[in-house]
Every structure is written in C-alpha cells, then in structure tokens.
Amino acid sequence: MREPSETRILSVASEHLRQHGLRRFTVVAVAEEAGMTHANVYRYFPSRAALVDAVVDVWLKATERRLADIADGPDPADDKLERLILALARANRDLLAEEPHLFAALSQAVAKRHAISRRNRTRVRALFERVIDEGIASGAFEPRDRDRAIAFVIDATHRFIHPAALELEADVPQASVDARLSTLIRVALRVLGTGIV
Amino acid sequence: MREPSETRILSVASEHLRQHGLRRFTVVAVAEEAGMTHANVYRYFPSRAALVDAVVDVWLKATERRLADIADGPDPADDKLERLILALARANRDLLAEEPHLFAALSQAVAKRHAISRRNRTRVRALFERVIDEGIASGAFEPRDRDRAIAFVIDATHRFIHPAALELEADVPQASVDARLSTLIRVALRVLGTGIV
DNA sequence: GCAATGACAATCTTCAAAATTTGTAATTTG
DNA sequence: CAAATTACAAATTTTGAAGATTGTCATTGC
C-alpha cells in the first residue's frame, strides 16, 4: 500500500534538506522524487518555507516528546530538571554534529523567529516551569521568586542550549563542554534548593 | 597641523564602517576621503580586512581599558566582579543599539575568530581571573575549584555578553534584560562566596 | 469531489561580461 | 629617504539577460 502524499512529501523533503541543505532544497526536486508535479505539493504545504518548517518541526516535536517524557516521569523534580537540561543540550548538540544541514535550518528558524520555533520555545519553557513548580511544591526547590528562578535557569543554561551558542563551540572537545555543563547544572540545582534566587 | 596619515586613515575608516557597514566599506573610498590614493593606504594597513579589524580593535581596546580600570580599583573583589560583568554587558549592548554596523563587524570578527577578537577574549578573561583570584585571596570567594568557578561565571553570563547572544535579544525591553542580568550576577556572587562551585 | 496536472506570471537564481576593488611594485615627489 | 603616486594584474562585485523555481488557478481524471 502506497504512502499517503502528505507524509511522503514530508519524508522526501526531510531527506533533501538533510542531504543538500536549505540553499539547494527545491520544491520541484522534492516533488519529482515524490513522484508528482510540484503544483501538487502546494495542495499540502502552502509554500516552500512552510515545507522546510514542517521538516524542522518534525524534529522539534520528537525532541519535545522526549523532554515531556522526562518532565512527566515519577522522579524527584531536581533529577528531572537536570535530565531536562541535559537532554535538550544534547539533542541540539547532536543535531549539529550529525545533521548539520537540518541544524542550520533550525538555527535560521530560531534566528528569524518562525512560528514553529516560537511555539517550541513556549512549550519547552512550560516543561521547565512545570518541573520547577513541582520542585517548589515538593519542597525540593525554595526560590524566593519563582519567575526569577525560572529566568535564571534559562539564562544560565543558554550557552549550552541555544543553536547560535552551540555553533560557537562546535570545535571544543565534547568532554570539556560536558564538564562545564555539568558544573552549571549542579550549581543551578543548589541555587534553586537553597533560596539563593 | 595635519593629522598623520595612519591615524587619519583609521578615523576615516571608522566613520565609513559606522555609516555604511562592512559590505559597502571600500579601501578606495576611505583613501579618497582621507585625501590620498588607495595604494598609499597599503603602506599603513596590509589589507582591507586588517583595516576593518583595526577599527574594531580601537573599540575593543577602549572597552578593555574601562574594564581594566574596574579590575585595578581598590574596591572589594565581589563589587569589582559585578561591575566588570555589567560594564562588559552594557558596552556590547550599547554598541548594538548605537552603532549597529560596528557591532556587526565585531560580531563577525568574533564568529570568524579573528586574531583581534581572540586576543581581546584572552585579555578580558585574564581580568575576570584576576578579580576572582583576588576574591579568593581576600576570602570573599571560596570556590571548591578555581578553574571551574571561572568557567561557571563566564558560561552563566554568556547570554548577556556574547555578541551572538545579544543580537537575539535586541528587541527585548532593556529593563527586563537588566533585571535578569542583575539576578544572574547576584546569584553568581553568592555561588562564589559560599563554595557551591 | 478529491488528487493531481498543465499552463502561466512573478520571483529568484545562475552565468558571463563589464566594472570595480584589492593588492603589488616600480616610479615620482618633496 | 619617507610619503605618495601611477600603473597594472588578480580577485571580487555588479549588471543584465537567460533560465529555473515559486506560487496560482483552471482543468483533467478517477
């Protein structure tokens, strides 16, 4: 049985973006490889930009699901916050290493504030808020100001999470980045736990 | 009395870069406005890139001097570290707001790891190290691991200092950025003071 | 009536020639 | 002799025409 057109276009587009990059990604080529004329692609995606965003969004949503699994788990909030930060940092860093073209498309979507990236950011932030609130409810975290505490965690970890920041460290040995990130996480957890923020 | 050629070229180049940006900055135009042929510019600067870097370097060095004044002051180390971070963050943020073309040139020099930016980074980092070491010597800071503590401060403040990170927040109200930065600084000082890092 | 196509205008990219700019070196000027 | 210029090759940018891609829509086919 034949794959429905929409998913088929999306998977061909994903391959094309990964292999050839944004610059050489064309609706005509995707359509041809999906066995249809380019006009038909526009039945499913309103524009080339929307198709690219859809490809990036598949990755973002998959990453979000893994983060939500962590946030929904039964573990203590401080454990979950640590794993949340680590998982997000690693997901982005691994994408940079393994799928540079897809990473570049994500990076652009973030830089140009596309809807997909703004919405992803909102949802990921909500996961962080949930876990921190859970930690406050359980007494694991005792920040003096909840909103400030959340902003602190996001600002302090920015360097290890944001695509623009990760690009700068692409050539730093992974072990060294890992060590610094683990220091930062340890500090952030202590800061949340001891009412410093 | 007529300004010597080298400084004259440099000041005309600075004006051109600020007004027209990197893209439209040409050695020919700078030379003409400085009242000479372009070949003569090459007596003083080995290439267009070197001239651009020299302009950026003037700004970097001026900023460094202000930071060094803070680091050399008689105040307690924790005060000085706070002022160091604030001064560096504000210098870069003000440059983005007031001289976007010069900021863009700096941003590129950093992204492409030009010698001027690598050396600036090394010297600014040395100032941070000096102040933190001073704080350790005076007992104001008691980190468990000096190098980790320094890395922590630099990583945590990255978002408010690095050009690539500042570009992302150009449209966030200054007051909100200031509030977050001041939280981050307060936390970092407490962290250094209480052996958390 | 839903999926797909062919035909088309508008936009964007490519390519090659022309123009400009970068960079070098021999020569001039004060 | 130090500062600057003229003259020139190499590299880069601009320009404009040809070609390709994007996006729309009326029409076809099942």
A184, B148: Cβ pair inside 8 Å? no
Triad A48, A53, A55: Cα angle to 5°: 100
pLDDT tens by residue, A89-99:
999 999 999 99
Residue A188 pLDDT grade (very low, low, confident, very high; cuts 50, 70, 90) = very high
- Give yes or no for a contact between B59 and B95, defined as CB atoms under 8 angstroms apart: yes
Question: Considering only CA atoms, which residue is closest to the C1' of nucleotide C7?
Answer: A39
Average pLDDT, chain B: 96
A19: pLDDT strictly greater than 80: yes
* Secondary structure class of A196 (helix, strand, coil): coil
Cβ of A36 near strand D (distance < 7 A): no
Residue B143 pLDDT grade (very low, low, confident, very high; cuts 50, 70, 90) = very high
Report which DSSP code applies to B46: S
Report which DSSP code applies to A99: -
Identify the CA nearest to A34 among candidates A7, A58, A57: A7
**Mean pLDDT score, A139-167:** 97
Q: Which residues contact A81 (CB under 8 A, 6 or more apart)?
A: A128, A131, A132, A135, A153, A188, A189, A192
Residue A2 pLDDT grade (very low, low, confident, very high; cuts 50, 70, 90) = low
- What is the biggest distance separating any 2 CA atoms in chain B, rounded to whole angstroms? 62
Q: Which tokens is A147 given?
A: 């909103």
Q: Which helix (H) or strand (E) holds B51?
A: helix B48-72
- Give yes or no for a contact between A21 and A101, defined as CB atoms under 8 angstroms apart: yes
B125: pLDDT strictly greater than 60: yes
**Mean pLDDT score, B172-177:** 96
CB contacts, 8 Å: A141 with chain B: none
For residue A149, give the chain B residue with the closest CA: B183
Separation CA B119–CA B97 (nearest Å): 24
Confidence (pLDDT) at B2: 59
**Mean pLDDT score, B39-56:** 98
Cβ of B20 near strand D (distance < 7 A): no
Q: Which tokens is B43 given?
A: 């007596």
Confidence (pLDDT) at B63: 98
**Mean pLDDT score, A100-123:** 97
User: Cβ atoms within 10 A of the Cβ of B118, count?
Assistant: 12
Separation CA A154–CA B184 (nearest Å): 11
> For A165, which of B156, B165, B190 is closest by C-beta distance?
B165
Q: Which residues contact A146 (CB under 8 A, 6 or more apart)?
A: A132, A133, A136
Dihedral sign of CA atoms A161, A166, A169, A171 in order: positive
Separation CA B105–CA B119 (nearest Å): 16
Confidence (pLDDT) at B3: 78
A1: pLDDT strictly greater than 80: no
% of residues, chain A, pLDDT over 70: 99
pLDDT tens by residue, A26-61:
999 999 999 999 999 999 999 999 999 999 999 999
Instruction: Write down the residue that tokens 């406050």 correspond to.
Output: A136
User: Which domains can be identified in chain B, with CATH numbers?
Assistant: 5-44 (1.10.10.60), 55-193 (1.10.357.10)
Separation CA A13–CA A131 (nearest Å): 35
Identify the CA nearest to B17 among candidates B61, B68, B51: B51
**Mean pLDDT score, A116-137:** 98
